[in-house]
């Protein structure tokens, strides 16, 4: 497929692999193929790489290397955090708190735990996607063993007040473990576990220019965690299976680069995002920006909105035909006609939530690409709206004095 003239605005779904990351990985996909658990020289090279990568990831998170567990990605990290803590703490209580706007990796795991006998509270959010901290304070009790609230939302970019939420939890029940899903936040927000105060934190490499199928879970020392993948003693008995050395090396490299280049990358994304936030409402009628109004409280790369009287899927197809890759929300709901659970939890009416568009920019995007999008978007929206049976009436109502 000819991709040269295309503009990719779906970095929340995944990011391209950074060339420097690929180069760091290549030796471990070719000559250095030993199993890090073995004792001979070939294995020791792999062991050294694994240990180095663990130190690098721990360095960015500000934790001890032994507190990092490598997994197959963000979903597995979140699932291990929730199931691992819920089952390891079952003798102390069976109550879990999470939010209504979590990624399905957390929500579906929480729903399964509910079926297995745990009690789960789903915290509501306000119109901008912020978790209701008063409800959090009311919900936490002696029986609560785990709280899981995301650091940043993948659909509308809301950065949740995790430090405050942790203070509330630890003030009322210091033994409750706090997990944050930082999959979308990594690279866009500082992820120091000490500053955040969390006990567990999930990351996934493919959101910050690393490879797919690799992630990590930070687990604070002495946090009870029952392994979910059983077998060998890898990852200090917390996750069995021969480590994916090349991908782990790639993730560590991608994470180091993301924080070495943090200021430049985020300033660049912010300038592109701000142009979208400024211009789209001016150029397209009947559009509602979703997510936080305060731009410092939304991810630097995230623009999201809902168009009245259009299906989000129709915009995506029309944009794709014009060379633009965009999303209606999370990649996992693409293909489903259900409106996003995030937008409905934020109180958007169903028909408006169906007209959602998410544009997430990255370090490779240019202002020229944004300009091109801003040129094609108004015409695309008005052509699609003209097909809506409600449009003539809506237009006439607007024209009435
Ligand atoms: C907030 C959030 N959590 C979890 C995940 C799942 O991560 P992975 O694709 O690495 O399994 C995603 C991916 O979209 C996400 O955005």
Examine the domain organization and report whether 253 and 165 are in the same domain: yes
Q: Which residues are catalytic?
A: 332
**Which phi-psi region, left, alpha or beta, contains residue 5 (left: φ > 0; alpha: ψ -120 to 50)?**
alpha
**Which phi-psi region, left, alpha or beta, contains residue 340 (left: φ > 0; alpha: ψ -120 to 50)?**
beta
- For residue 319, give the CATH number of its domain: 3.90.1150.10
With CA atoms as reference, report the closest residue to 204 among 59, 79, 343, 50. 79
How many Cβ atoms sit within 10 Å of the Cβ of residue 135?
16
- Domain-embedded: residue 391: no
- Domain-embedded: residue 397: no
With CA atoms as reference, report the closest residue to 328 among 358, 303, 308. 358
What pLDDT was estimated at residue 332? 47
Does residue 130 contact residue 161 with C-beta atoms inside 8 Å?
A: yes
358-365 average pLDDT score: 98
Structural domain ending residue among the three candidates 260, 284, 300: 260
Examine the domain organization and report whether 215 and 276 are in the same domain: no
CA dihedral 341, 345, 347, 350 (to 10 degrees): 20
Structural domain ending residue among the three candidates 260, 290, 317: 260
Give the model confidence (pLDDT) of 201-234 as tens digits: 999 999 999 999 999 999 999 999 999 999 999 9
What domain count does the chain have?
Answer: 2
81-91 average pLDDT score: 98
Residue 400 has pLDDT above 90, yes or no: no
Residue 103 has pLDDT above 90, yes or no: yes
- Domain-embedded: residue 392: no
Examine the domain organization and report whether 119 and 182 are in the same domain: yes
Examine the domain organization and report whether 141 and 272 are in the same domain: no
306-331 average pLDDT score: 91
Structural domain ending residue among the three candidates 260, 293, 323: 260
Pocket test for ligand 1, best of 76, 148, 183, 327 (most atoms within 8 A of CB): 183
- For residue 225, give the CATH number of its domain: 3.40.640.10
- Domain-embedded: residue 111: yes
Q: Which domain holds residue 63?
A: 19-260
92-118 average pLDDT score: 98
Examine the domain organization and report whether 163 and 153 are in the same domain: yes
Pocket test for ligand 1, best of 106, 154, 179 (most atoms within 8 A of CB): 154
* Per-residue three-class SS string for 289-329: ECCCCCHHHECCCEEEEEECCCCHHHHHHHHHHCCEECECC
Q: How far is the CA of 75 from the centre of ligand 1 (A)?
A: 6
- Domain-embedded: residue 2: no
Examine the domain organization and report whether 178 and 322 are in the same domain: no
29 Cβ contact partners less than 8 Å away, ≥ 6 residues apart: 246
The pTM for the full model equals 0.96
- Domain-embedded: residue 82: yes
Q: How far is the CA of 40 from the centre of ligand 1 (A)?
A: 37
Decide whether any atom of ligand 1 lies within 6 Å of the 210 Cβ: no
- Rounded to the nearest 5°, which phi and psi values hold at 397? -60, -40
CA nearest ligand 1 atom 14, residue: 13
Examine the domain organization and report whether 289 and 178 are in the same domain: no
Mean pLDDT of the chain, nearest integer: 95
Examine the domain organization and report whether 318 and 293 are in the same domain: yes
Q: How many residues does the chain have?
A: 401
Give the model confidence (pLDDT) of 235-268 as tens digits: 999 999 999 999 999 999 999 999 999 999 999 9
Decide whether any atom of ligand 1 lies within 6 Å of the 181 Cβ: yes
Q: How confident is the model at residue 5 (pLDDT cuts 50, 70, 90)?
A: confident
Give the model confidence (pLDDT) of 16-54 as tens digits: 999 999 999 999 999 999 999 999 988 999 999 999 999
């Amino acid at each position: 497929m000819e991709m040269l003239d295309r503009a990719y605005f779906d970095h929340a779904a995944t990011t391209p692999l950074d060339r420097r990351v690929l180069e760091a990985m290549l030796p471990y996909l070719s000559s250095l193929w030993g199993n890090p658990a073995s004792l001979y020289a070939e294995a020791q090279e792999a062991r050294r790489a694994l240990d180095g990568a663990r130190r690098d990831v721990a360095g960015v998170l500000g934790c001890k290397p032994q507190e990092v567990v490598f997994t197959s990605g963000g979903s597995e990290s979140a699932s291990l955090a929730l199931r691992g803590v819920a089952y390891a703490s079952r003798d102390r209580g069976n109550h879990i708190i999470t939010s209504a706007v979590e990624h399905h990796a957390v929500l579906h795991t929480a729903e399964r735990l509910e079926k297995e006998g745990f009690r789960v509270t789903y915290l509501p959010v306000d119109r901008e996607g912020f978790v209701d901290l008063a409800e959090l304070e009311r919900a936490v009790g002696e029986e609560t063993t785990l709280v899981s609230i995301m650091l940043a939302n993948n659909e509308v970019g809301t950065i949740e007040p995790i430090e405050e939420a942790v203070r509330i939890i630890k003030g009322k029940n210091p033994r409750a473990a706090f997990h944050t899903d930082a999959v979308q936040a990594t690279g866009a927000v500082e992820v120091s576990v000490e500053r955040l105060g969390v006990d567990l934190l999930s990351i996934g490499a493919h959101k910050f220019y690393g490879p797919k199928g690799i992630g990590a879970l930070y687990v604070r020392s002495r946090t009870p965690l029952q392994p979910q993948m059983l077998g060998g003693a890898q990852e200090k008995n917390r996750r069995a299976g021969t480590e994916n050395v090349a991908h782990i090396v790639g993730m560590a490299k991608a994470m180091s680069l993301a924080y070495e280049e943090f200021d430049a990358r985020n300033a660049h994304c912010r300038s592109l995002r701000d142009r979208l936030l400024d211009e789209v409402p001016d150029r397209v009628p009947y559009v509602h920006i979703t997510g936080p109004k305060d731009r410092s409280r939304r991810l630097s790369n995230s623009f999201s909105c809902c168009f009245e009287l259009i299906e989000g899927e129709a915009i995506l197809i029309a944009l794709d035909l014009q060379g633009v890759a965009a999303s209606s929300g999370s990649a996992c709901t693409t293909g489903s006609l259900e409106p996003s659970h995030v937008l409905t939890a934020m109180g958007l009416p169903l028909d408006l939530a169906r007209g959602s568009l998410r544009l997430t920019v990255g370090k490779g995007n240019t202002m020229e690409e944004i300009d091109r999008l801003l040129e094609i978007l108004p015409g695309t929206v008005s052509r699609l709206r003209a097909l809506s049976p409600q449009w003539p009436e809506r237009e006439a109502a607007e024209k009435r004095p």
